[in-house]
Amino acid sequence: MKTNFKTALLALAILVPASGAWSVANEQLVLQPQSRLWIDGTSTIRSFSCKADEVNAVVEANDPNAIPTLLSGDKGVKAVRVTVPAERMDCGNGTMNDHMRKALKVTENPAITFNLSDYDVAKNADGITGTINGTLDLGGVKKSISFKANGRSEGGMLHIDGAYDLRMTDYGLQPPKLMFGRIKVGETVKVNFDLLLKS
């Protein structure tokens, strides 16, 4: 698997164990193979997880020393764009994959994108914490979102984690239904990220 990724702020992105192709436009930070982005959801019979096997990011840094800059509580990144091919979402079940791709309107909207608008970062006893703000384009609908992220130093690298509760109906998406509607997926899913970044 390719794990080229840039910026502590990909932590913002959307969406599972990282086992696909990851790419970036410039060399600043590299996402390590241990990194994970995934979505947890519920249904009327059981919970489920879906992963994005491919994520692409374009990142512009203020400082070539982005990790130490961020860990000091200062802004080290000025722009981030993350793109996820919706058809590469994998829920570990062929039928569920088909229903999820249909729900995400993959044919009409093949990509899920996030563009950073601004963020804040502050140093604390355990590392750093911050709020990431930007625009999420999902299913052809764009909305401003905000979510929290935490970061800390780990062997000279930056470890970031956090989560975002996403309501599918806010984007005009209908949660998947299976077995003629007897199995219904909850409209809110949790986007989780656990990333390890190296300069």
Work out whether strand 89-90 and strand 77-85 pair parallel, antiparallel, or are unpaired: unpaired
- Full-model pTM: 0.78
Given this model, what pLDDT does residue 4 score? Answer: 44
Q: Is the pLDDT of residue 17 over 60?
A: no
Nearest to 168 by CA among 126, 134, 127, 138: 138
Distance CA 135, CA 185 (A): 25
pLDDT, greater one: 27 or 109: 109
pLDDT digits (tens, 9 = 90+) for 60-84: 777 778 888 989 999 987 777 878 8
Class of domain 8-196: mainly beta
Backbone angles phi, psi at 30, to 5 degrees: -120, 125
Quote the DSSP letter at residue 45.
S
Q: Give the residue, 165 or 176, on which the prediction is more confident.
A: 165
pLDDT at 10: 42
Of 4-18, 87-101, 179-193, least confident by mean pLDDT is 4-18
Instruction: Show me where the domains of the chain are located.
Output: 8-196
Of 89, 113, 86, 101, the closest CA to residue 13 belongs to 113
Across 11-34, average pLDDT: 52
d(CA 107, CA 111): 10
The one-letter code for the residue type at 75 is K
Tokens, residue 145:
């979102």
Contacts of 191 (CB under 8 A, 6+ apart): 14, 15, 37, 38, 39, 163, 164, 165, 166
Nearest Cα neighbor of 120 from 134, 111, 129, 130 is: 130
